[in-house]
Every structure is written in structure tokens, then in C-alpha cells.
Amino acid sequence: MLNQIDLSRTDLNLLVLFEAVVEERHVGQAAGRLSLSPSAVSHGLRRLRRLFNDPLFLRTPKGVVPTERALDLAGPVAEILARARVVIGAAAPFDAAISTRRFTVGAPDGVSAVFLLPLLAELRRHGPGIDISVRQILPPRAVTTTDSVWEPVLADIEARAMDIAVVPADKVPARFTSRMLYEEDFVITMRAGHPFGEDPTLDAFCRMQHLVVSLTGDAHGFVDDALAQQGRSRRVVLTVPNFMVALAIVADTDLIAALPKTLVAMHAQRFNVVSMEAPLPLVHSHIRAIASKAALMDAGVAWLFEMLGRAVTSQISLAGNRLVPPHQTLPRR
């Protein structure tokens, strides 16, 4: 039988210190985050090195770098602390007005750019001490169906790697709770004055140079699937890993891109881009907030789930006034 480690001889606060140094990569910044002195953090690191029999962090001119052992420990330690926080947080009634919890929301940036500002506004009013971490998620390849592409995200929700996911999803397993936040279409987006705006035909579309948002750099997307059904193809000049970068590049080049309509409506004026309906059918999706039913037993997660829905409802109401009517471009500045 294996000998069990006597946890009574181990200060579990060292794991909190370890997490802070891993995330900050700097002893002084970790000390500030934990309201400790740098010397106290250094002392804790010495104890951690003895505990794990490894240097854990190597000093550099700009801070510290974790060793391979520290990187291996980072995931399990984060999971242990996350579970401990849930258990302790559930022990007392959740009060958003005084809570200092941090929640993690996963979403593609084309979705988080829609809900983040209104969500932060709700938090300022109702939960000023609550912090949010946003985890960028995209499918490994653009697809025409959302039935299975988000299965890895569902696994992450169950593992509590994130509290809530906001993704395009048509079907959600019964062990999850979902809330439809808004419907999304894709529009063709380009810089103001782009020649495609004057000749938005399918032939012209295929002649244009295109940008695709792809996490892996795969240049084949759902637009290519739609074109192939009509015996057409296009040239993808560039792939980028997120939608906001796509907006910035489209604004200053002759590239065009199929981007989420709500995202473009919200940020078109800032980037000076215009958009129009595509000359062929593209993906229509339902953006849903998803959480596990087990997680929603946590009053804090349930509260955030409700706040997220409220924030998106207000944002979509405002964005609706800026959406591009079919076959029209946004006004040029």
C-alpha cells in the first residue's frame, strides 16, 4: 500500500503562491497580487522547491521562467484551487455586491466582443468586485454544422476549465443548460470604398482576395464549402487567428472577409469598414450561453449566467439599430 502524504504538515497556501508566480512570471508582481512582500514570496518559493524537489522557477532579467516540472504542475494545481474555491464559495451565500470571485467565460472573440462591454457595465453596477477571465475558443476548422464541433468545449465546461461558454450551438446535451442569446449571420466586410461594394456579384466575389479567420491557419472555411457547391473557388491570401485582427486588416487592405454581422455592426465605425450580404448562402447560427447543470448549482455561476443574458439583450437591442440592411453598405465616413 502506498504511503499517503500527511497534508497537515503542508501549507496549502503555497499552492496559491505557486499559481500567482506561474501566472505573473514575476516575484514582485505575484507579491503585489497576494498582498505579500517580495521576500515573503521568495521564502515561499524556497519551501515549494523543497516540497517538489525542483527549482520550479529560474530567474531572468525580466522576471522568472517556470521549469518543465513547474509547467507540469500548473494544470493540476489550478484545478485543485478552482475546486477548492468552488467548495468554499458555495459554503456561504453568494452576494454579488461584495463578492471578489473570478469567473471564466469561453467564447470566440467575435462573440466576446459583442457581450464583454455590456457585461462589464452590469458588473460595475451589480458586482464591482467580481473579475472575469475570457478564454478564446475557436473550432479547429470552420464547418457548416455546429452539432459536434463544440464537443471539446463541453468537456472543458464539465471539467470546470471554464464556468460558461458562449458559442454557436444548435444542439446541447441534456446535462447542460443553454440560453439562446442572439442569432448570427455572416456578412462580407471590406474597407470603405472597396470596389467589391460597387459590383457585389458572385463572379466578382470569386475574383477578390480573401481573409479567413482560422485558429490553426487552415485556409479552407465554410465559405469555400458554399462555393464548392456551386462549382466555384476563391483565393485566400491570409488567415488570422481571431476576428478583431481580421477587422483591423480588412480596414487597411484590399482583402475582404466573411465576418459575424453583429460584430461588424458594433465596430464598423471604429474601423471604417463597410459590409453587405454575401452573394451566396452562408452560415446562420444561434449563439448560446452554456453551463453544466452541476455548475449552475453554484449561486455565483447562476448569477453570472443571468447577468450575461441581460447584458447581451441590451447590447443586441443597441446593435440592431446599426445592423446593415440586406444588399446595402454602411455609410462611408
Residues 104-118 have pLDDT tens digits of: 999 999 999 999 999
> Which pLDDT does position 92 carry in this prediction?
67
> Does residue 175 register a pLDDT over 50?
yes
> Which pLDDT does position 10 carry in this prediction?
74
Query: Of 3.90.1150.200, 1.10.10.10, 3.40.640.10, 3.30.420.40, which CATH number belongs to 8-91?
Result: 1.10.10.10
Residue 67 CB neighbours (<10 A) = 16
Confidence of residue 322 (pLDDT cuts 50, 70, 90): very low
Q: Choose among 62, 258, 312: nearest CA to 142.
A: 258
Amino acid present at 255: L
Q: Any idea which of 63-72, 101-110, 314-323 has the lowest mean pLDDT?
A: 314-323
Q: How far is CA 48 from CA 26, 35, 42, 83, 226, in A?
A: 16, 19, 10, 21, 55
Averaged confidence pLDDT in the chain: 87
Q: Which three cell numbers stand for residue 227?
A: 462555393
> Does residue 143 register a pLDDT over 60?
no
Where do the CATH 3.40.190.10 domains begin and end in the chain? 102-182+285-320, 184-284
Place of cell 485556409: 219
> Does residue 1 register a pLDDT over 50?
no
Give dist(CA 250, CA 261) in Å, integer.
Answer: 15
> Which pLDDT does position 331 carry in this prediction?
37
Query: Which residues are CB-contacts of 227 (< 8 A; sequence separation ≥ 6)?
Result: 206, 233, 234, 280
Between residues 88 and 296, which one has the greater pLDDT?
296
Q: Which three cell numbers stand for residue 109?
A: 472573440
Between residues 333 and 17, which one has the greater pLDDT?
17
Confidence of residue 159 (pLDDT cuts 50, 70, 90): confident
Contact 106, 187 (CB under 8 A): no
> Does residue 80 register a pLDDT over 90?
no
| Architecture, CATH, for domain 184-284 | 3-Layer(aba) Sandwich (3.40)
- Model-wide pTM > 0.85: no
Where do the CATH 1.10.10.10 domains begin and end in the chain? 8-91
CATH topology of domain 102-182+285-320: D-Maltodextrin-Binding Protein; domain 2 (3.40.190)
Q: Any idea which of 16-25, 145-154, 203-212, 213-222 has the lowest mean pLDDT?
A: 145-154
